[in-house]
Amino acid sequence: MGLELYLDLLSQPCRAVYIFAKKNGIPFELRIVDLIKGQHLSDAFAQMNPLKKVPALKDGDFTLTESVAILLYLTRKYKVPDYWYPQDLQARARVDEYLAWQHTTLRRSCLRALWHKVMFPVFLGEPVSPQTLAATLAELDVNLQLLEDKFLQNKAFLTGPHISLADLVAITELMHPVGAGCQVFESRPKLATWRQRVEAAVGEDLFRDAHEVILKAKDFPPADPTIKQKLMPWVLAMIR
């Protein structure tokens, strides 16, 4: 068997892996794991990935989890342009710096924005207090400012003049609150221009394809009660 990628494009790290593989012409078999149906929590999927998370990679007998690990594996196995994860020590360190920072900051606030603004009230039918939503959006605003001031600054991309894994991971995160209807880019012209550069670098058609699901999040039908009961512990653990 060749390379298999277990993904759901509702997931921001899955989108990053998908775009990277497609953009770089990496051949793979797409295995859809439907998160909102709870397929990642099934015993069948747990046999492949005991962590019950996506993305996951299977390359012959080798399996790998965690999106950053998967992205780095793909950069090392396949011949991809150096700018994605540069050989230069300090340039690579800048990419590593962003990838280390984003896990507990931007990813958390983007995820919480989506769930508190849309997925809890619309998909799960659970109200979110105005105070909770306001705190979530305030946290997102703080991390957007850090993204702009610390990482983007006055550069074309987050780590320098070329796109890297850092930009790909960041933009897929930011499309989560965009999918929830948050005004992420409208009052941030520097970030808006950066988004345009990233879209152009990966290709507008591929970018649109990868984000079609998340941009329709507000239209998801309410969850079946059985599915809701299955998902609630996972959701609460994920966004805390």
Domain map (residue ranges) of the chain: 3-81, 84-239
Residue 195, pLDDT > 90, answer yes
Q: Positive or negative, the Cα torsion across 133, 196, 10, 102?
A: negative
pLDDT (0 to 100) of residue 239: 86
Average pLDDT of the chain to the nearest whole number: 96
Q: How many CB atoms lie within 10 A of CB 143?
A: 19
Q: Which helix (H) or strand (E) holds 175?
A: helix 165-179
Could you give the percent of the chain with pLDDT greater than 90? 97
pLDDT (0 to 100) of residue 50: 95
What is the mean predicted confidence (pLDDT) over 55-72? Answer: 97
- pTM for the model stands at 0.97
CATH of 84-239, one of 3.40.50.720, 2.40.30.10, 3.90.600.10, 1.20.1050.10: 1.20.1050.10
Confidence of residue 240 (pLDDT cuts 50, 70, 90): confident
pLDDT (0 to 100) of residue 192: 98
Q: Read off the tokens for 69.
A: 């690990």
Is the distance from CB of 70 to CB of 150 less than 8 angstroms? no
**For the segment 72-90, what is each residue's pLDDT rounded down to a tens digit?**
999 999 999 999 999 999 9
**For the segment 133-181, what is each residue's pLDDT rounded down to a tens digit?**
999 999 999 999 999 999 999 999 999 999 999 999 999 999 999 999 9
At 50, the amino acid letter reads P
What is the mean predicted confidence (pLDDT) over 78-106? Answer: 97
Residue 1, pLDDT > 80, answer no
Q: Read off the tokens for 70.
A: 């998967």
At 84, the amino acid letter reads W
pLDDT (0 to 100) of residue 17: 98
CATH fold, domain 3-81, is Glutaredoxin (3.40.30)
